[in-house]
Structure 1
């Protein structure tokens, strides 16, 4: 009976990634393009490796947790965590079942900071869970060398081996779905962010009106960009402007319309006519 209780408590402990990640020594395999706190929306229906956490267990053995995400599209999103050997590559396990999985996700945002990993999950009922896990052992050089991956950090000589239970803070957040055409992410014409994104609360998804910035203002609802009387579609990142002073009328190469239509600028926002 005592053995059963011990095994049960052990399983509960390791169901919570906070205990392991608080002993992290390195963050690796970070996604090349996703930015901190960006809502992951593409490529739809694909599995993506977000990042990996290398950590020591209580026996000083090093393992790796791979954090995978299936981007919502025709089906809902899935977050999964797969534990592997530290020397293995996450990509080899991208399509395998995870040790832990969170399904029916409408949206996901995450950030990997110097001393903190945060993940925000929004399910199809618009219920939000926020995970904040301090990285107690991560050490980051202020200015890493150019040949050194920005996703990798060196470990300090001192390790915290005491189980740090209760670090993972899961905070249910009550939200009200936003109606269509509601501005959910305000980006100014100079590319500055006027307000944080609330697009995960949109009842029927959201769309972006490209304005030449790396991200444009977003509204709740759905449209077919590039079609007649609709906002133009965004080209790739290499076409997006880097200067804050900009006029759509002078250069609309950052957007395109369907064949037979032309771009007409409304302010710095291109529309197809």
Structure 2
């Protein structure tokens, strides 16, 4: 009886905590809404594939969307900033899985309204604390950044060209202490991104822009799961390391750059 009562009390506590977060209300009265203009529009958010994208931030929260890949459908989640930074690895306050189609638009009239179109169903969120005094859109000005009162929008065609990242570029770097030495920006990779085996971190190793060719000759080894390894070694890059795997006939070696590769 005590066990059953404890379970009910725990469930009630979790329910109360979840009820405290009202997504629509938080957006309605936010004073620091900021969105990634790169993913706004009717074409939808489809790439880079299998990548967590930071779409917008508001108050102390971050809205991420993971793009579909093969049979894996899309997923959205809201996380809380930690030390002012956003991470998709943090616990989700709210989330939605099984998304096939995702679009995001910012409607600018007398008031500003955020629209999320998920699998054909539209969800509209007015931003009551934001308004504009003159009519213009994010794309018809020559500035790299556009301001609608206290709404900040990354905008402009020049911005779009300048912000994409070429293949081969480090887009998320971690060190032996599992601290970010290069802030996550893989959502700007032109051809997706891939993870390499270097340091033993719960959030995974460093990540590079480009097509994932892991496991093939002269390419990074495919990473194994962090919990599968169950080791406390700070570095996973050494010859014969089991932290990555290769195609038949190849073995793992640590390159001069400190990345586990297949040879």
Query: Higher helix proportion, which one?
Result: 2
TM-score, reference length from structure 1 = 0.43
TM-score, reference length from structure 2 = 0.45
